[in-house]
Structure 1
Amino acid sequence: MSSSRMLSVNGIDMFIRESGSGPLVLLCHGWPELSYSWRHQLSALADAGFHVVAPDMRGFGRTGAPVEIDAYTIFHTTGDIVALVAALGEKQAIIIGHDWGAPVAWHAALFRPDIFTAVGGLSVPPPSRGRGRPLQSLHDQGITNFYWQYFQELGAAEREFEQDVDFTMHAVFSKGFSSDSAMSQFLQDGFGFLGDRAIPRPLPPWITQDDIAHFIASYRASGFRGGLNWYRNIDRNWDLTAPWQGAKIHQPSIFIAGSNDEVVTGLIGAKRIKDMETVLPGLRRKLIIDGAGHWIQQECADEVNAALIGFLKEAS
């Protein structure tokens, strides 16, 4: 059984779920998710002998959500996790992240190898700092309909998602970023991020009505701005990470993704998957689960748990 509590970290109050005892493992969720997204991992990893902690990340759920957009940079989000290790009374941890939580995990390992002794990323490959700011690079390629660009306008995506939170969460989890989804990384003319609302969005078998109700209730309470502000720092993060141009993550690492996830097959992810070992010389395993989509730790919990437990036992 997991428990929950609030901790003061890095100037905000952070809600965490935790289970087990042993070496510390931190699980960082992405957008638009919550610590609840790790419900299948909390018990499994705890039973394997680890102290597992999953926070609601900055701006999400019950964790503090600063008003300022520039309070969501990669320095803030990794700083939260550094402070969380200390708040838990530990000096070191293994960090695992999914979606936006993966860049947090990768950068935490890059910035503070003294604290984060091993690292895992789900669905989002490790960082490869390109020659120019990402949003500017998209524009220079003539791309104007990528979802990162849509998320930049303050209030636009919030209005779309908050007008019917029930539909939003069904739409997000029905397929997510997959090759056969009504949603796409590239917006269609006349539609927002969620695509054509006339297309039914049945829930997949791996998420229950109780699960979706939990996400809906949380986002009705919090709104979506905090999580969207992470996207509004994409170019700022490029500027801030200039000192780590070409840097490698040397700790033991693992990468897990679904073969049908547009994040790893699409515009940005495919090349990073191919070149992953360049950034991760300590890569122990690259697991691409055939037929799986973006919400990998929920969709393929048993397979993900087995891979993570094997990696954690080897790396701890």
Structure 2
Amino acid sequence: MRTLANKVLFYAALASTGFGVVSCEQAGEALQDRKKRENEQEIEQYIDRNNLRGQVQKNELGLYYYITKSVPNGQQPKIGDQVQYHYVARRLDNLIVDSTDIAANKPLSFVYLDRPVNITAGLFLGITQLKEGEEAILLVPAYLDNGRIGTLLLPQYSPVRYDLKVVNVRTEDEQIEDYIKAKKLAVTQKQDNGLRVAVTQSRPDSVLITTGKTVNVKYTGKLLNDTQFDAGTINVVIGEGRVVKGWEEALQKLRAGEKATIVFPSALGYGTQGSGQTIGPYAPLAFDLEIMSVK
């Protein structure tokens, strides 16, 4: 994980690349410097106007935040965890400009990395301050919210207030257990490395898959949100290492003619980098398998 100093440099780089036009409010003052100063003035005025002085904190990066609901024993997000969250975004005149689907309780989610991916920098910085179940008011200057696209309702250089709630924080193992429960899978084998095998059609008298065997497998691959990323039929020679480790290990628990659902963490799949556009970093995966033949 980045040190705080590295994070400061990282977000400073974001800020400097986010504003490319130069204009002068004061002699020699660049546009980003002027907007930063103006944003901070607006936020300080908002704090006074709403009697938040003494409650709002400001961190080293310039994020203003006020934890309105504290959960001391809540789970703290760590690298690789899935975080689900709700938010309401407002201008500083309190006009609501955006929100998650709170009424239907459909939070957004992202994988917690050491940088904001699929989330604005302002929301990401707020989540770094919170635990599962906690809520906060964030007051975010525009230079800390790169990734937010300017609109007529919320122009690019406007500060924004987020009312943020961290709904839950799930490790990969917890995500896998949630998936197994939701799909009502009867796990027949569980490995210490996180691999789960649920045999759905058993053939105890057929050929066991071992090293050197060629296996013809029909498969469907899914993320744990049921997004399908691949399907087809493939020949796998056990021991050649041409498929991910989760497959190699799971196939050796099965026999010809069997069907199974296998679920495994990213360490047995595509790791910290992911694969392509669909499989992100730290993504646990599920596969429905049918062993067509073993030779």
Fold equivalence (TM over 0.5): no
When you count helix as a share of all residues, which structure comes out higher? 1
**Alignment TM-score, normalising by the size of structure 1:** 0.22
**Alignment TM-score, normalising by the size of structure 2:** 0.23
Larger radius of gyration: 2
When you count strand as a share of all residues, which structure comes out higher? 2
Greater RCO, 1 or 2 (C-alpha within 8 Å, sep 6+): 1
